[in-house]
Structure 1
Amino acid sequence: MLSPNDPNDHEIETIEEFDRVAASGSLRGHRVQSVDLTTRTPALMSADIAEAVFLGCPMEPEAAAYVRAAGAMVFPPVPDLPFDPYRGSLYGPDALYEGLVDDGYEATPDARAYQWFLRTRGSGDIYASMLRSIHDDAVSDAFDELVMDARVVGVMGGHAMERGTDAYAGAARLGRALTRAGLTVATGGGPGAMEAANLGAYAAPFDDAMLAEALETVAKVPSFRPSITDWARAAFDVRDRRPGGGASIGVPTWFYGHEPPNAFAEHIAKYFANATREDGLLARCTAGVVFLPGAAGTVQEVFDNTTPNYYESHGTPRPMVLVDRDHWTRRLPAWPLLQALAEGRTMEPRIALVDSVEDAPEALARLSRG
């Protein structure tokens, strides 16, 4: 299960948290992230706010002047940005896809953030670079808070896997099985195998017929090409018909902004920097990683995950399960190299190659037991 925030930390991320802390008379040393404080001027001007930091919090001019003079630091909201660099929580599908139904994908915050990224990433503008870095750090902080006590299992695989295929259905069943086993599924957050695993996690609380119906619904739009709008609307159709699905995590990136985030991940840690995204996703997969067939990106993830396992000498390496023997031994023969690296090291009993997705949950559980 996902964790609530640590009640002992000094971060304030909602107006309810602000009111609770401010009622004590002291905001000293707290960090307030993206909370609209325009209606909280009396509370701000009556509290001890020395050493507090306000990140992207709208305030009345009188309150902003007071808190600066009283020893707090104020980082004002940044105008005309399609994203909040100081955000205190991860995204949800509704936030990234706001406006999809009426105006199409191009009008959504996700699409507008990608266009901003395209305009600024090669400009050499240190201000834009700083905003991207602040945003990604805020996302990482929120990500850590979300999974603090969770048993997170990664499901990696290619974006080219289309809806309506046996492979897509298998990845969805895998996500469902892992979620029903009490694990929190985390994926790269995009289309293909990633979406399928998040869909399976979403379907976990329902009867098995729900997943069959959902697979049939999304299969009507097999790919995000040529229309991201139609592809995303099909996913939201499933969510609207069966609200309240299981929670999982998607970790996409605007670096590959042509790949839209899938709408089945309840929590979306979207980054500008792909390296931060890749490393952060794998590092948080504390219960292991299942690798479905994929191309260059998935192969990279296999060995990105192998490196810390290879050098692990004191703790317990995290399990790695590769699915589809033919793919990983013949088409893209990563398995022989992985075996060679593992030989004689603590990670050796923590890797497995299985024939099908149906074998993966049992293999993961076996490796976890050691």
Structure 2
Amino acid sequence: MEIETLAELDDHLASGESLRGVRLQDLDLTGYGDRLAADGDLTGLVVLGGKVPLPVAHLLLERGAILFPGIADAPVDPWRGLYFASDLYEGLEHGYAHTRDAKAYAWFVDARLRTDAYCTLVRAIHDDSVTDHLDEFVFGRSVVGIMGGHALQRDSAAYASAADLGHTLAEEGHLVATGGGPGAMEAANLGALCRSRPAVEDAIGRIATVPGFRSDITTWAESALSARLAVVGDEPPVPSDTLGPSARSLGIPTWFYGHEPPNVFCDVIAKYFSNAIREEGLLARSNAGVVVLGGAAGTVQEIFQSVTPLYYAADEGPLPPLVLVGREHWTERVPVWPVLTAIAAGRPMAEAIHLVDEIDEVLALLPSPTP
């Protein structure tokens, strides 16, 4: 049993139930010493991070609990879970290098720390916490994954089309999930976040003067945060544990590709250190299908990763569709489509893969969200 809020802890203590086997995650236990001690034997209680004053820590340890302390010298809180854009871009006024996102990437690639057991443990705990919160966030939602390259420029017609696709899917009731980076990913997240097509057009107009991130991430991010403010206002973000049912835009990026900064047009951001966990998590949660826009190596990897479960699926009902957009791109420039049709021949997968020319053709191929 996991307890993640003090209200939940209060209810559990008031119930008189044992704390054996309970996990207390990221809680401030100041003032809880006597109440926890009333349980007697605390063997099996696990305290994960949070604030644990020394007297409370001594009491817990003496009675058999296990404590995983907070991490003081890492740029991330491993127990945090999901992020908001404001979390990752905290410090941007001093330049991107001063943000939490940039510091986390620098820490991740530091050669002295890559094989350090302590840092490896911190990263593993962090990614597990992200997964835990992400599962809760998407539970019961119809999720459509949109894949595409990071190089797509904000002032291009293709960017506007990707934003329109994200908006259309969100209006239909889908949660739009992307790899959380720039380019096509940003466009889809932007479209999903906006509540009207005029808002989509206005947001693109605000950021089109900074078409890409490569020359100056700081200016690229500042323009996006300004556009986001115009879309959602300046109210503090709603806690992610209550936002799930109303969320429209989800980003799942990784510090493995730290040269790609996260886009800010997501209701929440599930950022991982492990790209393998991130890739699998993004595709596995796209239960209503995956739409693939133009892209290169990373996008091709995502295509074939999503193909594997389709290839081995038994004939037990409709499979989530995989829709490639751009016939010329996927048959000539990056000829993935002939490979897909060849391996799908004679298998249920053949009914799940689609190649279309226009984004307008996508919606009809996806299942409708369950009310």
- TM-score for both structures, normalised by structure 1: 0.91
1:172 touches 1:197 (CA, 8 Å); kept in 2? Answer: yes
Secondary structure at 2:177 match in 1? strand
Query: Are the aligned partners of 2:29 and 2:56 in contact in 1 as well (CA < 8 Å)?
Result: no
Instruction: Identify the residue that residue 319 of structure 1 maps to in structure 2.
Output: 321
**Matched position secondary structure for 1:236:** helix
Aligned position for 1:241? 230
- Report the CA distance between 1:147 and its aligned residue: 1.3
Equivalent residues of 2:30, 2:51 under 8 A apart:
yes
- Assess, with a 3 A threshold, how the Cα gap between structure 1 residues 175 and 17 changes in structure 2: closer, same or farther: same
- CA separation in 1, counterparts of 2:354 and 2:26? 44
Which one of the candidate residues 139, 142, 147 is aligned to 2:138? 147
> Map of 1:337-348 to 2, 5 A cutoff?
337-348=339-350
1:120 shift after superposition: 4.4
Once the two structures are superposed, the pairs formed by residues 201-280 of structure 1 within 5 Å of their partners are 201-203=192-194, 206-243=195-232, 247-280=248-281
- The residue that corresponds to 1:51 in the other structure is 44
**How many pairs are equivalent?**
355
8 Å CA contact 1:247, 1:267 repeated in 2 = no
Per-residue CA shift, 1:101-139, capped at 9, x if unaligned? Answer: x32221111111111011147742222222212211221
Sort the Cα spacing of 1:123 and 1:267 in 2 relative to 1 into closer, same or farther, 3 A: closer
Letter in 2 for 1:52: L
Write the deviation string for residues 306-361 of structure 1: whole angstroms up to 9, x where unpaired: 01100001544221000011101111111111111111111111111111112111
Q: Distance in 1 between matches of 2:88 and 2:38?
A: 37
Alignment of 1:18 with 2:9, yes or no, is yes
Q: 1:150 to 1:307 in 2, by over 3 A?
A: same
Cα distance in 1 for partners of 2:225, 2:115 equals 38
Q: Secondary structure of the equivalent of 1:347?
A: helix
Counterpart in the other structure of 1:128? 119
Taking a change above 3 Å as real, the CA distance of residues 35 and 354 of structure 1, as seen in their structure-2 partners, is same
Residue number in structure 2 paired with 1:329: 331
Residue 33 of structure 2 corresponds to 41
Aligned 1:298-309 pairs, distance under 5 A: 298-309=299-310
Preserved contact between residue 91 and residue 267 of structure 1 (Cα < 8 Å): yes
Question: CA, structure 1 residues 28+282, in 2 after alignment: closer, same or farther (shift >3 Å)?
Answer: same
Q: Could you tell me which residue of structure 1 aligns to residue 67 of structure 2?
A: 74
2:89 to 97, 106, 124: 97
User: Matched residues in 2 for 1:183 and 1:207: separation?
Assistant: 15
Structure-1 residue corresponding to 2:79: 86
1:41–1:60 contact (8 Å) kept in structure 2: no
User: Structure 2 counterpart of 1:334, which letter?
Assistant: V
The answer to whether the 8 Å contact 2:167/2:197 transfers is: no
CA–CA separation in structure 1 for the residues paired with 2:360 and 2:146: 14
Alpha-carbon distance in structure 1 between the residues aligned to 2:128 and 2:324: 31
**SS, match of residue 150 in structure 2:** coil
The aligned residue for residue 5 of structure 1 is none
Instruction: Give ranges in structure 1 of 5+ residues lacking alignment.
Output: 1-9
Partner Cα distance (2:26, 2:73) in 1: 15
Return the alpha-carbon distance in structure 2 between the equivalents of residues 302 and 365 of structure 1. 19
Please name the residue that 2:238 is paired with.
Answer: none
Deviation string 1:127-155 (CA, Å, 9 cap, x unpaired) is 22222122112211211121121111100
Question: Of 362, 366, 369, which aligns to 1:360?
Answer: 362
| TM-fit CA distance, 1:71 | 2.2
Considering only aligned residues, what root-mean-square deviation do their CA atoms show, in Å? 2.0
Deviation at 1:226, TM superposition (A): 1.6
1:169 Cα deviation from its structure 2 partner? 0.5
Aligned counterparts of 1:299 and 1:128: Cα–Cα separation in 2: 31
Deviates more, 1:219-228 or 1:110-119: 219-228
Shift of 1:246: 5.2
Measured in 2, the distance between the counterparts of 1:252 and 1:324 equals 24
Shift of 1:23: 3.1
Paired residue secondary structure (2:295): coil
2:219 & 2:27 partners in 1: Cα distance? 34
Answer whether contact 2:326 2:357 (CA < 8 A) is retained: yes
**C-alpha distance 207-84 of structure 1, shift in aligned 2 (>3 A):** same
Which amino acid letter does the alignment assign opposite residue 222 of structure 1?
P
Contact 1:120 1:128 survives alignment (8 Å): no
Amino acid aligned to 1:236: L
